[in-house]
């Protein structure tokens, strides 16, 4: 079978590899149908992801059709359409015991620490697969994993009905956060430096959009919240300056959620944290968000509505990575189609 492998930085190849076989009674073999290209895949391609070793078959946003199941598989049957949950964890460490498997001490992420889903066939244990309604288009369900990232950020921010939420960054993950926050009943302001991204954010449900390069974000937040500040600030840009601004614009008793891996130092005073009694939280991957997202997909409450902008065949995967690399302003989400 064919598999897309990053051999070394900036070197991508379609390799011929052995088709995987079921070896465990809880295993499921599925035919890959769609794989989304994520920012972390691009970081692996560039050789800048510190968590990935090369060579690596990338891809963790995966949808496929089940073709064979192990003898002890109970909740999945042949012909089911599934999406993958790309984390493997020990279940024993402190994080796992607290229900936070996404930060397990021995966490292994599909397509990062281990071979991923950008290949024609995959085998995974039943507990890493979630069944989705067969009537929903592949281009819709392949976005389940990015939606869980948005759901996790909203959960970490304890977003509730009536909250004001500021999302910094209207890229694909910012839009997924926006969709999940609106489903919680929040009022959402979103910022970006791209007029096109802000326009799409408005179409996707944002109440207020702000061009961070042309407008004074703290002043706009004051006007929007009647000087209260945003109850929840979710930083999907993750630069030192956006992290610092979060403390300026968050309300008293507010929550700040950070999704980034930037190692540069930000200058944060203790005063606003203590004075406002602000909670500052990281958000990584997801914890038990797939059932919620699958339910929303099945009920028709989550639809991409233009989030997928480009599709490429498996044979054109190098062209796909080149296009995402060279034209990021044109790409919201690019999908690889497997026949």
Residue 204 CA to residue 85 CA, distance in Å, equals: 25
Query: How is the chain split into domains, by residue range?
Result: 2-143+304-337, 149-282
Hey, what's the torsion of the CAs at 125, 113, 169, 320, to 10 degrees?
A: -90
What is the reported pTM? 0.96
Q: Is residue 281 within 8 Å of residue 257, measured between CB atoms? A: yes
When the candidates are 3.30.70.3000, 3.30.2310.20, 3.90.180.10, 1.10.3720.10, the CATH number that belongs to 2-143+304-337 is: 3.90.180.10
Asked whether residue 287 carries a pLDDT value surpassing 90, the answer given is: yes
Report the candidate in 40, 36, 41, 17 with the shortest Cα–Cα distance to residue 119. 17
List pLDDT tens digits, range 146-156: 999 999 999 99
List pLDDT tens digits, range 103-129: 999 999 999 999 999 999 999 999 999
Alpha helices in 204-264 (DSSP H): 217-225, 240-249
Give the number of other Cβ atoms within 10 Å of residue 293's Cβ.
27
List pLDDT tens digits, range 195-209: 999 999 999 999 999
Q: What is the mean pLDDT of residues 268-285?
A: 97
Give 29's strand partners: 68, 123
When the candidates are 3.40.50.1110, 3.40.50.720, 3.90.600.10, 1.10.3980.10, the CATH number that belongs to 149-282 is: 3.40.50.720
Note the pLDDT of residue 49.
87
| Residue 267: exposure state from Cβ atoms within 10 A (0-12, 13-18, ≥19) | exposed
Question: Following DSSP, what letter does each residue of 212-228 receive, concatenated?
Answer: TTTS-HHHHHHHHHTTS
Report the candidate in 63, 78, 61 with the shortest Cα–Cα distance to residue 22. 78
Higher pLDDT, 53 or 68: 68
Report the candidate in 182, 158, 142, 131 with the shortest Cα–Cα distance to residue 59. 142
Round the average pLDDT of the chain to a whole number and report it. 97
List pLDDT tens digits, range 161-218: 999 999 999 999 999 999 999 999 999 999 999 999 999 999 999 999 999 999 999 9
């Amino acid at each position: 079978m064919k598999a897309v492998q990053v051999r070394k930085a900036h070197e991508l190849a379609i390799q011929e590899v052995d088709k995987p076989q079921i070896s465990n009674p809880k295993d499921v073999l599925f035919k890959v149908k769609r794989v989304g290209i994520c920012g972390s895949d691009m970081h692996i391609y560039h050789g800048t992801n510190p968590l990935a070793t090369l060579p690596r078959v990338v891809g963790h946003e995966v949808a496929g059709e089940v073709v064979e199941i192990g003898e002890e598989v109970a909740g999945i049957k042949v012909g089911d359409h599934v999406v993958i949950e790309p984390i493997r964890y020990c279940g024993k460490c402190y994080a796992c015991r607290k229900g936070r498997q996404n930060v397990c001490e021995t966490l292994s992420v599909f397509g990062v620490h281990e071979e991923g889903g950008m290949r024609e066939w995959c085998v995974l244990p039943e507990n890493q697969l979630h069944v989705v309604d067969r009537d929903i288009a592949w281009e819709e369900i392949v976005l389940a994993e990015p939606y869980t990232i948005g759901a996790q950020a909203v959960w970490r921010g304890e977003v509730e009905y009536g909250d004001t939420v500021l999302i910094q960054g209207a890229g694909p993950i910012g839009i997924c956060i926006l969709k999940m926050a609106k489903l919680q009943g929040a009022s959402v302001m979103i910022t970006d430096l791209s007029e096109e991204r802000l326009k799409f954010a408005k179409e996707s449900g944002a109440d207020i959009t702000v061009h961070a390069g042309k407008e004074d974000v703290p002043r706009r937040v004051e006007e929007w919240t009647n000087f209260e500040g945003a109850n929840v600030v979710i930083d999907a840009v993750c630069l030192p300056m956006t992290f610092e601004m979060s403390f300026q614009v968050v309300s008293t008793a507010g929550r700040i959620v950070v999704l980034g891996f930037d190692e540069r130092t930000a200058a944060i005073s203790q005063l606003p944290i203590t004075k406002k009694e602000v909670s500052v939280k990281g958000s990584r991957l997801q914890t038990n968000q797939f059932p919620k997202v699958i339910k929303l997909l099945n009920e028709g409450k989550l639809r991409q509505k233009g989030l997928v902008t480009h599709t490429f065949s498996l044979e054109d995967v190098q062209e796909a990575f080149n296009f995402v690399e060279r034209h990021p302003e044109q790409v919201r989400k690019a999908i690889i189609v497997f026949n």
